[in-house]
Chain A
Amino acid sequence: KAGVTQTPRYLIKTRGQQVTLSCSPISGHRSVSWYQQTPGQGLQFLFEYFSETQRNKGNFPGRFSGRQFSNSRSEMNVSTLELGDSALYLCASSFGLAGATDTQYFGPGTRLTVL
């Protein structure tokens, strides 16, 4: 069974640009969560999508948005990039809603560098 895949793996952008990251969950999984990991703040929850609906959202500005498609694939968009958005962006999938009973499986991440 293929794992969670994220594309691209590495990305370099400049301030003010926007970026879209993609995540393909494990086949059959309906939940996709996104996380940001930085040396300064550690790992922080961005949002979770389940059956194309955003179910939970972390404390991030509106520049961070996402969506989920009918095949459960998800995209995350960051507009008006800032230097502080440089981070490893991780995607995780689970069969049901993340947490309570279902284990999350993480992808390798997308390393975003903002210059």
Chain B
Amino acid sequence: DAKTTQPPSMDCAEGRAANLPCNHSTISGNEYVYWYRQIHSQGPQYIIHGLKNNETNEMASLIITEDRKSSTLILPHATLRDTAVYYCIVRVASGTYKYIFGTGTRLKVLA
């Protein structure tokens, strides 16, 4: 699986958009980008995933660059409950390939 690089921490004001970047320059053509978040002392929670097109769901938007070497997770209106560690993972979608977690980004939403 490709390795990902994320900034260790970010702050965001409540109500503003949180933009979390991820670099995955060695991603393969059949690997998807998955985003999870982990709130303190809980298991990771799925947020969104994509291959090459931008994706949006009720939680977030995922913007993937045209060369697929990086992506950005956007939380459009961050709330205090979005304070968590956000992990970007790349892997193939089919089969049971293991997830390898990087260091993630610790997002702190400020009141």
- The answer to whether A and B come from one shared complex is no
Chain A residues with a Cβ under 8 A of chain B: none
